[in-house]
Amino acid sequence: MSILEKIPQLSPVLDQCAEVAGYLWQKGWAERNGGNMTYNLTDLIPEEFRNLPAISEPIPIGCRLPAIEGFWFYAKGTGRRMRDLARKPLENGSIIRILPGGEQYEIVADEPVMPTSEISSHLSLQNHLVASGSSYRATLHTHPIELVALSHIRHFCSSEELTRTLWSMIPETLAFAPLGLGFIPFECPGTVALAEATLREIGTYDVVLWEKHGTVAVGTDMMDAFDQTDVLNKSACIYREAALIKASLNFAARPEGMSDEQMKGIQELFKLPTERIK
């Protein structure tokens, strides 16, 4: 019996995680098993289900996270693909519960799918959000192509330069990613150094960019974390297009278009108005 039959209020959250996973794949941000996500489900678990029996042994987190003792999370499974999660979130991810003490977790449903290998850094972020009184529930790591590309250019490798450039591309980025984009210099994936740097920057930014790797976003829900990443990446796309046009179009290469005479001929032939008709 799926946990969704016992706790149907989890369905909209899992549906949203699946929807976002589909977008990540469609955008080319989630090759193979790339990217991972967690969602804090705790508020949705009724009292009578809080002690539901586990389907795994206790698994060490690797650090102590006291703020999330007893909390429930959805996590993408290790080695699982976003494009599969988009169709079957509970076969490609699992629901876990943090054990008393905050040093271990256990899998509660639906299948014993081991969470992402990045689970300890995601849970550290969740612990930080809870401890700081945040209403945010979601963490999302993905590989947005144009943002990662910018991090290969030294000029953009600072939070200030990235934020200013991306905000300046389109008013909506300033409005919908108002905290900008934090930059984290290269560290190997899965290391404590990368997790600690992320934790430091996420206090200031909703989205951070790991140099030559990808983004980590936190948000009120999974769609919010995705939207903020998407808005910032849209600006990076516009920057790229404008830079390409500037670099490739010299005067001789400009599209020819109709000549003035040709257009005048059309205006006369069809008696087109040259002033507003009263």
Residues in contact with Zn ion by the rule CB under 5 A? 214
Q: How far is the CB of 73 from Zn ion (least distance, A)?
A: 19
2 Cβ contact partners less than 8 Å away, ≥ 6 residues apart: 90, 109, 110
Q: Which is nearer to Zn ion, 77 or 214 (CB)?
A: 214
Question: Does residue 110 have a cis bond before it (omega within 30 degrees)?
Answer: yes
Beta bridge partners of 107: 96
Tokens standing for residue 220: 């009120």
User: Between residues 214 and 219, which has the closer beta carbon with respect to Zn ion?
Assistant: 214
Give me the residue whose beta carbon is nearest to Zn ion: 214
Least separation in angstroms between residue 217's CB and Zn ion is 13
DSSP, collapsed to helix, strand or coil, labels residue 191 as coil
3-state secondary structure 156-168: HCCHHHHHHHHHC
Is 57 an active-site residue? no
Buried b (16+ CB within 10 A) or exposed e, 128-143: bbbeeeeebbbbbbbb
For residue 215, CA distances in Å to 79, 134, 150, 161, 225 come to: 19, 20, 12, 16, 10
Residue 48 DSSP code: G
Distance, in Å, from the CA atom of 214 to the CA atom of 229, rounded to the nearest integer, reads 10
Spatial contact of 163 and 239, defined as CB atoms under 8 Å apart: no
Q: Which is nearer to Zn ion, 71 or 210 (CB)?
A: 210
List the catalytic residue out of 5, 19, 48, 118.
118
* Minimal distance, residue 46 CB to Zn ion, in Å: 35
CB of 238 to Zn ion, least distance (A): 24
Cβ at position 110, least distance to Zn ion in Å: 25
21-30 as b/e: b if 16+ CB within 10 A: bbbbbebebb
The nearer residue to Zn ion, 89 or 214, going by C-beta atoms, is 214
Cβ closer to Zn ion: 117 or 220? 117
Catalytic residue numbers? Answer: 118
